Amino acid sequence: GAGVSQSPRYKVAKRGQDVALRCDPISGHVSLFWYQQALGQGPEFLTYFQNEAQLDKSGLPSDRFFAERPEGSVSTLKIQRTQQEDSAVYLCASSLHRGPRETQYFGPGTRLLVL
Amino acid sequence: GENVEQHPSTLSVQEGDSAVIKCTYSDSASNYFPWYKQELGKRPQLIIDIRSNVGEKKDQRIAVTLNKTAKHFSLHITETQPEDSAVYFCAATPNNAGNMLTFGGGTRLMVKP
């Protein structure tokens, strides 16, 4: 079946621009996560949704980062006034249920480069 | 919060040899420990996971061991093959801290033919 998909796969932005990254989770998956992966490092948690509810946004690095999942399926991560330090791969993951020991399936990521 | 340390950061082995990657975690409430393999430019893919009610789990050439007392867990790959070359990440998630994964820094495994 179809896995997690993300778009765009690559995004180049000028410093100060706003960007929007899209995640399509596996159909029927309740939980959705966003992670940020800097070059050569492990993914770091940004935010978590259970259906349409954003239950944890403790990992968002600043108020320039905003995520939503209005209908409990597709999610969008928005970064306003991008900075060079925002350059990273943004990974989305989904899991079927809401339990803490559920397998998370990752998308291919969006590689963001801020010039 | 949880902190996961992973060693070594790079590992080079000869094809057919075994590879071992070790991780330690800080939060004793953590009870789920997945391992992901990430090839260059690709998505992380789950290769094996272990839950805190077992000490060892094996799947063909891959095994994971967990020592809850010492708060460490390890990935063992036997009979390594060139296609095992990738970056491997361990992760942990506490039961009482939401569902997010805390990842280690990764191990770049190179299997030389």
Average of per-residue pLDDT across B40-48: 94
A residues 52..81 contacting B (CB < 8 A): 55-56, 59
pLDDT band, residue A101 (cuts 50/70/90): confident
Output the average pLDDT for chain B: 93
Locate the chain B residue with the closest alpha carbon to A54: B98
With residues binned 3-state (H G I as helix, E B as strand, rest as coil), the percentages for chain B, rounded to 5, are 5, 60, 40
Q: Is the CB of residue B97 less than 8 Å from the CB of residue B4?
A: no
Output the average pLDDT for chain A: 94
**pLDDT (0 to 100) of residue A102:** 83
**pLDDT (0 to 100) of residue A90:** 98
Percent of chain B at pLDDT exceeding 70 = 96
Q: What is the C-alpha to C-alpha distance for residues B9 and B21, in angstroms, rounded to an integer?
A: 9
The amino acid at residue A59 is G
Q: What is the C-alpha to C-alpha distance for residues B60 and A96, in angstroms, rounded to an integer?
A: 26
Cα angle for residues B14, B15, B17 (degrees, 5° grid): 70
Q: Is the CB of residue B2 less than 8 Å from the CB of residue B100?
A: no
Structure-block tokens of residue A63 = 């108020």
**pLDDT (0 to 100) of residue B109:** 98
Does residue A91 surpass a pLDDT of 60? Answer: yes
Structure-block tokens of residue A73 = 């399926």
Does residue A26 surpass a pLDDT of 90? Answer: yes
The amino acid at residue B78 is T
Average of per-residue pLDDT across A79-102: 91
Q: What is the C-alpha to C-alpha distance for residues B30 and B91, in angstroms, rounded to an integer?
A: 10
Residues of chain A contacting B99 with CB distance shorter than 8 Å: 31, 33, 48, 95, 98-100, 102
Structure-block tokens of residue A6 = 């993300």
Q: pLDDT digits over B52-100, tens only?
A: 777 999 999 999 999 999 999 999 999 999 999 999 999 998 765 567 8
Q: How far is A101 from chain B (nearest CA, A)?
A: 6
**pLDDT (0 to 100) of residue B60:** 96
Query: β-strands A110-114, A10-13: how paired?
Result: parallel
Q: How far is B29 from chain A (nearest CA, A)?
A: 12
Residues 6+ apart with CB under 8 A from A63: none
Percent of chain A at pLDDT exceeding 70 = 97
Structure-block tokens of residue A107 = 């998308």
Q: pLDDT digits over A69-89, tens only?
A: 999 999 999 999 999 999 999
